Chains A and B, each alone.
Chain A
Amino acid sequence: MVGIVIVAHGELAKALLETACMIVGPVDRCEACTFAQDKSAEGLRKMLRDAIKKVDVGEGVMILTDMFGGTPSNISLSFLEQDRVEVVTGVNLPMVIYALTKREGKKLGELAQILKNNACSNISVASEILSAPPKG
């Protein structure tokens, strides 16, 4: 099973994981790394290294991070390793839930592609898919 690490600015990663667990129940092999403003990038690197080790069962680790170009993403990318560690940016709640529930039996690269495609197609503008209800 692919291990999952969520890393984002502030308390976002922790909140995403806790919220996802509220919906899907308790999960294994998933860690959240917070990056508070008073913490150093080096501290985050160490936290990530420990988290990767913790969730890795030899089938690869997926890092889900918030925004490309941000420090959590920059540090994550330094762990990138073919078939060992993959990074997907733009994490949100549906992505976390999908990753946690659909990772069984999937290879790292395959899961990454599915997460990306799924996330892109899962954002919708309500009025584009529904017509507005009549007033009154």
Chain B
Amino acid sequence: MMDLRLVRVDDRFIHGQILEAWIPYLGADGVVIINDRLSSDEFQKSIMEMALPDRIAFKVSSVDDAPKLKDNGLFKDKKVLIIVSSLMDAFNIYNRGITFNRLNIGNLKVHNGSYQLSFSVWVDSKDIEIIKSLMAEGVYVAVQSVPREREINVGDILEMIKL
């Protein structure tokens, strides 16, 4: 059974903030990307694998295959960071049994995103519905690009701008 440390929404997947900030902060030794497009892109997968230190177990999974991760021996007793690129995918994995009690939103550039929650996070009205549904399930949703930066509770923002 994996020890799920954080689920993050980040449309840049593996990049500087993940490698230099989140992995050391979480003490993560497992990283999983759950994304349908990337799960069939061998080139991008191998680039990301090369960027990660060797000690980190790594896998890219489709959304439908996500439930199998829980029993994947590769992540047994590993401290795992899960990255998805959209709130919809976060919601979909939650509903498929990869549950979490907090959701971190790091980088999200929604095309035609109507609302800006931080300098690096834009959401549209559908995303806001998803955030509300997750909050109703008891999930704490926060915007934070790197661990040293102050976390912003999305619930507070939505209340403030009356959404």
CA distance A42 to B110 in the complex (A): 11
| CB neighbours of B43 from chain A (8 A) | 78
CA distance A69 to B145 in the complex (A): 17
Q: From B47-55, B65-73, B95-103, B125-133, give the one contacting chain A.
A: B47-55
Which A residues, 26 to 49, have Cβ-Cβ distances below 8 Å to chain B? 37-38, 40-43
Q: How many residues of A contact B (CB 8 A)?
A: 16
Sorting the interface of chain B by its residue count into under 10, 10 to 19, 20 to 34 or 35 or more gives 10 to 19
Picked from B12, B50, B119, the residue with its CB within 8 Å of the CB of A71 is B12
| CB neighbours of A78 from chain B (8 A) | 43-44
> Does B153 interact with chain A (Cβ within 8 Å)?
no
> Does A70 interact with chain B (Cβ within 8 Å)?
yes
Q: Would you call B109 and A68 a contact (CB within 8 A)?
A: no
Q: Would you call B109 and A74 a contact (CB within 8 A)?
A: no
Q: Would you call A74 and B120 a contact (CB within 8 A)?
A: no
Q: Would you call A74 and B15 a contact (CB within 8 A)?
A: yes
> Does B117 interact with chain A (Cβ within 8 Å)?
no
CB-nearest residue of chain B to A80: B43
Picked from A41, A67, A68, A77, the residue with its CB within 8 Å of the CB of B12 is A41
| CB neighbours of B157 from chain A (8 A) | none
CA distance A73 to B44 in the complex (A): 12
CA distance A74 to B51 in the complex (A): 9
Tell me the minimal C-beta distance from B88 to chain A in angstroms.
17
Q: Would you call A69 and B120 a contact (CB within 8 A)?
A: no
Decide yes or no: A37 and B15 within 8 Å by CB, A42-B109, A77-B47 being known contacts. Answer: no
Tell me the minimal C-beta distance from B58 to chain A in angstroms.
12
| CB neighbours of A74 from chain B (8 A) | 12-15, 44, 47-48, 51
Q: Chain B: residues with CB nearer than 8 A to chain A?
A: 11-16, 19, 43-44, 47-48, 50-52, 109, 119-120, 145
Q: Chain A: residues with CB nearer than 8 A to chain B?
A: 9, 37-38, 40-43, 67-71, 73-74, 77-78
